[in-house]
Chain A
Amino acid sequence: MPKRKTEKKRSNMPQKKPEKLIEENDVRIDGRKLDELRPVKIEVGVLGNADGSAYIEQGKNKILAAIYGPKEVHPRHLALPDRSLLRCRYHMAPFSVEERKSPAPSRREVELSKVIREALEPSVFVEYYPRTSVDIFIEVLQADGGTRCAGLTAASLALADAGIPMRDLVVACAAGKVEGRLVLDLTDVEDKGGEVDLPLALMPNLNGITLLQMDGDLTVDEFEKVVNLALDGCRRLYALQKETLKSKYVVKEAVEE
């Protein structure tokens, strides 16, 4: 069947490419300072069927993460004799972006699923559950830049919510360069119009960097600054992550009569 040509409808969100992404007084297009995170809202235990789940809103990003497992592996031959098989699917809803995205996994989604899995695995005691699988599902419902990081932050919480033994939480945040300035937590317009995007994931207590990607161009000195900016963002998000878990699971001690 020939592909039907669809007229591009008028945009739902004001997407006109702005002339300047950063004003002279260091205010970004959405009113943030250079090193300011977008407003973040996180919840855990949001889905009924999943063993663990989390929902994150970071700016306009809206992302759900769910965990199923440890459970029997299907297909069976994939089971590992000495540890649990961690699987991850990062997926974007067709309506999550401006122009409809085909629901079939794109090459980008396949790559992101791989790097997210590899970013979470060091935090999980996979050796505790041999011959099982732990499946991580990340669904991006609305995307506005930095979805792999927000998805990772949520997925790590969902793992904790599922009660899976972990060495540390994993928290992720991007930093980059826009119009020559180093900025934290890039939105979609900043990512597309800017020079550099550097997503990074951190295990805050082990000080381990579990995800590091970059594109753009940076000198080695600038690179050091951007990494430190991203690490700083991770630590701030980590405080929120902890708060979220505590608010769900820490029960106030009964006052003695």
Chain B
Amino acid sequence: MTFSPIVARVKQKRIAELISSGKRLDGRGLTDYREIKLEVGVIERAEGSARVRLGKTEVMVGTKIEVGQPFPDIPNEGVLTVNAELVPLASPTFEPGPPDENSIELARVVDRGIRESKAIEVEKLCIEPGKKVFIVFVDIYVLNYDGNLIDASAMAALAALLNTKMFNYEVEGGEIKVKPGYAPLPMRNYPIAVTFAKINDKLVVDPWLEEEQVMETRLTITMEKDGKICAMQKGGYGYFSLEQVLEAAKIAREKTEELRKLMVKG
């Protein structure tokens, strides 16, 4: 392994010092992403799938669609369920067992982005109001952890949803009859998450693992295709000033545009 979960004090200091002078240890600018590689349709068994590499961080997302009951308060809408697994093979710090707070937070932040931007046209996923709807399962599988899981997972989740195919069907007396052919999952928005780390009172975009060890705190901003903010999450033990939060929102606007171009054509 080229990285370890513990970063030497000297290196921590170096990372922080470089950032105060506007540079980063891996040569990136403060608002540069690492190289992003996107593959879709990597798992044939899944209804949709994608694998995102963000530098050395690697996340796979698979979607599955099942028929189930809607929530009683929204009887004519399909259901979205997001789950994240920090698979033990992804990092020496990940342990097997039920989801811990980190994986729950990861799943819920990605979920909020998709849900609040109304990315999936859930009203088209109703089969029989109050009785049968489609349930879209988005399962995030972290394969290699090198920092910034939120952005990588949000990207992979969006790519997998865009890649998702649903079987054609017709309803006969409350029963679903499968017809030949597939249609894409109805989507109307493309939420993109941008995560900032605060190090030495400066904001950097897309922190990698060692920067995450040094950072005081982080902020994730998810934006819709028209540049509106649809979700936010602050994490970590530090704090932000009002100016930093507003600055982050401005940078996020540019970055999400940039990433969305990459995603939607890819």
Contact = CB atoms under 8 A, between A and B. Distances in A.
A198 interface: yes
Given A209-B234, A227-B245, A215 B112 contact: yes
A114 B107 CA distance: 14
B117 A217 contact: yes
A209 B253 CA distance: 21
A103 interface: no
Interface residues of B, number: 34
Interface in B248-264: 249-250, 253
B230 A217 contact: yes
Given A209-B240, A227-B242, A217 B104 contact: no
Contact of B105 (A114, A198, A203, A207): A114
Contacts of A218: 228-230
Contacts of B234: 115, 118-119, 209-213
A121 interface: yes
A68 interface: no
Interface in B98-132: 99, 101, 104-105, 107-108, 112, 115-117
A217 B233 contact: no
Interface of B: 99, 101, 104-105, 107-108, 112, 115-117, 217, 219, 224, 227-242, 245-246, 249-250, 253
Nearest to B73: A192
A5 B116 CA distance: 31
B104 A220 contact: no
Contact of A223 (B105, B229, B239): B229
A1 interface: no
A208 B241 contact: yes
Contacts of A227: 242, 245-246
Interface of A: 107-108, 110-111, 113-115, 118-119, 121-122, 198, 203, 206-220, 223-224, 227-228, 231
The majority secondary structure among interface residues of chain B is mixed
A209 B247 CA distance: 14
B238 A219 contact: no
Contact of B239 (A108, A114, A115, A206): A206
Contact of B101 (A111, A214, A224): A111
User: Which A-B residue pairs are the 7 nearest by beta carbons?
Assistant: A208-B239, A214-B232, A212-B234, A121-B237, A210-B239, A114-B101, A215-B116
In the complex, which of the residues B108, B232, B238, B250 has the most CB atoms of chain A within 10 Å of its own CB atom? B232
A203 B101 contact: no
B232 A111 contact: no
